[in-house]
Amino acid sequence: MGSSDAGKSDADLVHDALQGAREALAELVRRHWDTAVFLTARVLGSPDLAHDAAQEAAVAAMTDLARLRSPDRFGAWFCGIALNVSRRWLRQLRSEVPGMPPDQASASPGPAEVAEVADMAARVRSAVAALPNGQQHAVLLFYLQGMSHREVAAELGISIGAVKSRLHQARAALAPMLAPIAEIPEERIMMADNAVDWIDVSVSEIRRAEGEDVSQPKHIMVLQERGGERRLPVWIGPFEATSLALAMESVETPRPFTYKLAASLVQAAGSRLAEVRIASLLNQVFYASVIVHGQAGTQEVDSRPSDAVNLALTADVPIRVDSALFSMVSAPDRMEELSSLPVATAEIAEEARQLMHESMQKLEERCTPPSGGGEKGP
């Protein structure tokens, strides 16, 4: 570390660090390390845990340095992250550790350790930056800022289930990239890398069940494994079922439906729909995402499965399902109940076609001027 760095302000060091200067990162951490360790020790009550929590906070601060709005307040920002990390650890440890040793003094890290942390931060930042935007934001907020699932959901404007789904996918993608610095056993890397086994599916049919209110039937979209026999039933709404049926039966519509419009807007913006994924099932609710390739890179957009599948049929892109979902919903009694419901794909499409035809007729009648009322000739 150069003596020039020691004389610089935090703001100058942050600027240098953002330009890629490792020495500046190391100096920033060294300068505020003792304070961070002292604060985490007060929360955790253990010097060893305090040291580890401060180290995680250092990695978080380095990885997320670009989000610091006031470079001259790096110390307060870094210590705030350390406190968030230690509080999260404390919540996790309360159920596991009955008691902790009293507070003790903690030694500051040496230059080699600080340099190692800086190198680790650069590698973590690179791995996280390679994630799709949706996963990247969830990882930064949950793991690096110490937010809860509920807080991340509020920050990103998505559901808690969608947050968990994004984090699950991010962990699977990050494990092989970060294995060398995390010293993860090879068998665990393989498990994480293969955590999501995507299976190509197609929409085989739409089934309809009459409920207590016969005017409000329930619709089930059935996804069939391509080249296999496994099926995945998903309850969907009547509008989405109608759109699917029209697409499956190749019924021409007088004007583009909503999904055609959405696909056209994506294309007009210079992007393209790549695939859709049904990734998780939480509290009996399926969660899906639409993968979009564009100039800004790959984007992952949260979606309902019915909307995602409708988009996939409109844009003719693959539909993929996490293989684990088949076993979660394939109980024999449930599949037997599904088989007892009538297939209604063609019927739904025909009903929609008739309704559109009648609507067009009424519109034409309204727009046709009445015939003349002159007197008849002899």
pLDDT tens-digit readout, 132-170: 888 888 887 777 666 778 888 888 888 887 888 888 888
**What integer pLDDT is reported at residue 109 of this predicted model?**
46
Locate tokens 């996490």: which residue?
322
Residue 374 has pLDDT above 80, yes or no: no
Say how far apart CA 221 and CA 341 lie, in whole Å.
12
Count of Cβ atoms closer than 10 Å to residue 376 Cβ: 4
Say how far apart CA 119 and CA 184 lie, in whole Å.
18
Residue 350 has pLDDT above 70, yes or no: yes
| Longest distance between any two alpha carbons in the chain, whole Å | 118
CATH no. for 198-361 = 3.10.690.10
DSSP character for 143?
A: I
How high is the mean pLDDT of the chain? 76
Say how far apart CA 57 and CA 50 lie, in whole Å.
10
Count of positions (residues) in the chain: 378
DSSP element (H, E) containing 298? strand 297-303
Cβ atoms of 201 and 232 closer than 8 Å: yes
Amino acid type, 322: D
- Dump pLDDT digits (tens) for 54-81: 888 888 887 788 888 778 888 888 888 8
Locate tokens 């009694």: which residue?
333
120 confidence band (pLDDT: 50, 70, 90) = low
Residue 185 has pLDDT above 70, yes or no: no
Query: How confident is the model over 267-285, as a mean pLDDT?
Result: 85
**360 alpha-carbon distance from chain centroid:** 41
Quick one: which of 178, 158, 188 has its CA closest to 280? 158
**What integer pLDDT is reported at residue 216 of this predicted model?**
65
Residue 183 has pLDDT above 70, yes or no: no
More confident residue, 65 or 373: 65
- Dump pLDDT digits (tens) for 214-226: 556 788 999 999 9
Query: How confident is the model over 254-277, as a mean pLDDT?
Result: 85
Which of these ranges, 116-130, 141-155, 312-326, has the smallest mean pLDDT?
116-130
Say how far apart CA 308 and CA 291 lie, in whole Å.
10
Beta bridge partners of 234: 221
Q: What share of the chain is helix, strand, coil (3-state, %, to 5)?
A: 60, 15, 25
Residue 292 has pLDDT above 70, yes or no: yes
What whole-number percentage of the chain has pLDDT above 70? 77
Give the start-to-end residue ranges of the domains of the chain.
Answer: 3-95+113-193, 198-361
- Angle, helix 74-93 to helix 22-44, in steps of 10 degrees: 40
CATH number for 3-95+113-193: choose from 3.20.20, 1.10.3470, 1.20.140, 1.20.120: 1.20.140
Which of these ranges, 89-93, 162-166, 187-191, 303-307, has the smallest mean pLDDT?
187-191
Residue 233 has pLDDT above 80, yes or no: yes
Residue 107 has pLDDT above 60, yes or no: no
**What integer pLDDT is reported at residue 122 of this predicted model?**
64
More confident residue, 112 or 107: 112
Residue 376 has pLDDT above 70, yes or no: no
Cα dihedral 136, 139, 144, 150, rounded to 10, equals 130
**Count of alpha carbons within 13 Å of 64, Cβ hemisphere only?**
24
**What integer pLDDT is reported at residue 317 of this predicted model?**
93
309 confidence band (pLDDT: 50, 70, 90) = very high
Say how far apart CA 178 and CA 182 lie, in whole Å.
6
Cβ atoms of 120 and 132 closer than 8 Å: no
Say how far apart CA 145 and CA 16 lie, in whole Å.
23
Which of these ranges, 230-244, 260-274, 350-364, has the smallest mean pLDDT?
350-364
Angle at 13 between CA 8 and CA 16, to 5 degrees: 125
pTM: predicted TM-score of the whole model, two decimal places: 0.51
Cβ atoms of 236 and 348 closer than 8 Å: no
Cβ atoms of 234 and 325 closer than 8 Å: no
